[in-house]
Chain A
Amino acid sequence: MTQENKANATIANDMTEEIDAGEVAPQASDAAVYKDLSLQGLWKNNPGIVQLLGLCPLLAVTNTLTNALGLGLATLFVVIASNILISLIRHHVPKAIRIPVFVLIIASLVSCIQLLMNAYTYQLYLSLGIFIPLIVTNCMIIGRAEAFASKNSVKHSAFDGLMMGLGFTAVLIILGAAREVLAQGTLFDGIETLLGDWASFMTISLYNTDTSFLIAALPPGAFILMGLIIAFKNSIDNLLKK
């Protein structure tokens, strides 16, 4: 099955289709399993640039590195926690109603993270806006729940969530950094809203200009850069094949 089909099948919540790479082979050694899971999450099956899941937050909030990092960490937390919980209850949920149950769990977790961000990183909470509650609709999270966590043990699911979340966060960070440098000439602008005032030394100003390259901060720029990142990843794959 091609990557694209796999993504489509996940999005369409195809109930009957077994998704390959979704189940760990029972006889494989533990180390090999973890290695495979990391490779899948970070590179081969990266949710951002291979499965193309969760594109809406990916493109909408990556206008600065801080926003990207904030949303990446929130998503990372939700995907790990939801994978663990769903793996724990996987034997007790009737197959027919598993999707609503998964959504309910994910929505509760997102509510937690939303309240936490409201309490501790209020500025970031304001600048991410609607995209925090929208983590619920991130196909990557429900995709991992359905394709992996509902079929595998708790520790494997947790590790899979960590790697998928890291893969997603990595793409967010690359895109956020590229857009922030192009549009404003800074890195980590506003990082104190995420990590607290001590972190404000991290803000780097690379260059100063009166005329910023506005398109990088706008959605079209996000799409173009995203396309270039995917092309870059594919060209590395082609080089590795040779």
Chain B
Amino acid sequence: MAFFSSTSPHQRIKRRTPEIMKMVVLALLPGVLVHSYLFGLGIYVQIALAIATAVASEAIFLTLRKRPFINSIKDYTAIVTAVLLAISIPSLAPWWVIVIGTAFSIIIVKQLYGGLGQNIFNPAMAGYVLLLISFPVQMTAWLPIESMQAFPVTIKDTLSLIFTGYSIDGYSVTQIKTSIDGFTLATPLETIRNALHVGDTISETLKTTLFSPDSLQGSQWVNLAFLVGGLYLLKKQVILWYIPASFLVGMIVFSFIPFATDPELFPSPLYHLFSGATMLGAFFILTDPVTASTTVKGRIAYGLLCALLVVIIRDFGGYPDAVAFAVLLANICVPLIDYYTKPKVYGRRRS
């Protein structure tokens, strides 16, 4: 009888990186589908551009480093980074935005640190932050949901907008963004921020067109769809529950504190949970196995830290959404968190 000896980790289900990454892409599908249904087909063009750029930059850079690139492309990690970044940016952003962002994510954030498993920062989020601070105009040109757009955007228009900046009939993204009654629409988080800035209260803002029932649901439906994908990943044990749970609980608790002091100035916890990139962040971005904490206690601390940072930046900071900034800031703290939460070796005394 033959006994096989294998090295750790001793897992009941053995999965390799490509398999896990394919499941992550699969879990992103509901969110992407809902997004494209509500906001138009631009997101598919962005995803295609992102994947092409990611694969090309990975191949070029690994060739420069004199490493075989076939395996590294086959493991799907670059593709997951590309898809996450493409989902995060406005779907009608010009083509060079996503190309610059993805190339930066792969080359500077991932490969220059040593490639897969070596990067300190989450590549997709670092790329997103680069784009957000470099091209604020393009990166905040979010469309309202299709039924509220001033002009119908066809597939041809989408392509033309992404590659030339104007639709077939010559409208720019800003014109399409502006609804029929002349109001410029932004994302819900952004609208609340701007309204508070000019002195309106939240209950006043919630009465405006953007927050009419069928409009507001846009970002909430997308968030729900990402939640579904995330639950699938949890069920398949691709990710563990510590980070999403501590992050979401943290969001509720931390956002309740300012909300309780003045509900007219700070959005409610429920609103925080289902707007912006909360769900995408909780299940797909924070749980990145490379840049997140690796111990149980550390994961909980990491999730809570991210939640605290998101709430602080959203409620008091200058940018409407904060998941990307929070993740990068928490990434820097991960070595420290891991150091202080090292599990005790069995049999050792408490030190």
Q: Which residues of A contact B (CB under 8 A)?
A: 211, 213-215, 218, 220, 224
Contacts and interface: CB of A to CB of B under 8 A. Distances in A.
Interface string B89-109: 000000000000000000010
B135 interface: yes
A215 B108 contact: no
B90 to A, nearest CB: 14
B33 interface: no
A227 B130 CA distance: 16
Nearest to A215: B134
Contacts of A211: 135, 137-138
Most buried by B among A211, A218, A220, A224: A211
B108 A213 contact: no
B133 interface: yes
Contact of A215 (B133, B137, B138): B133
Contacts of B133: 214-215, 218, 220
A224 B135 CA distance: 18
Interface residues of B, number: 8
A214 B134 contact: yes
A178 to B, nearest CB: 15
A43 B133 CA distance: 34
Nearest to A227: B112
Interface of B: 108, 130, 133-138
B103 to A, nearest CB: 13
A209 to B, nearest CB: 11
Contacts of A215: 130, 133-134
Contacts of B130: 215
B13 to A, nearest CB: 40
A92 B39 CA distance: 78
Most buried by B among A215, A218, A220, A224: A215
Contacts of B135: 211, 213-214
B75 to A, nearest CB: 26
Given A211-B135, A213-B135, 13 more contacts: A211-B137, A211-B138, A213-B134, A214-B133, A214-B134, A214-B135, A214-B136, A215-B130, A215-B133, A215-B134, A218-B133, A220-B133, A224-B108
A213 B108 CA distance: 16
Rank and list the top 4 A-B pairs by shortest CB-CB distance, nearest first.
A215-B134, A214-B134, A213-B134, A211-B135
Nearest to A211: B135
A217 to B, nearest CB: 9
A218 B136 CA distance: 14
15 contacts: A211-B135, A211-B137, A211-B138, A213-B134, A213-B135, A214-B133, A214-B134, A214-B135, A214-B136, A215-B130, A215-B133, A215-B134, A218-B133, A220-B133, A224-B108
A134 B108 CA distance: 32
A218 B130 CA distance: 11
Nearest to A231: B112
Most buried by A among B108, B130, B136, B138: B130
A211 B165 CA distance: 12
A242 to B, nearest CB: 15
A80 B108 CA distance: 38
Contacts of A213: 134-135
Nearest to A183: B134
B260 to A, nearest CB: 36
A30 B339 CA distance: 55
Nearest to A182: B134
Nearest to B126: A220
Contacts of A220: 133
Nearest to A216: B134
A215 B135 CA distance: 9
A14 to B, nearest CB: 29
Contacts of A214: 133-136
A128 to B, nearest CB: 24
A211 B133 CA distance: 12
A211 B108 CA distance: 22
A214 B138 CA distance: 12
A215 B134 CA distance: 5
A214 B136 CA distance: 9
A179 B133 CA distance: 15
Most buried by A among B135, B136, B138: B135
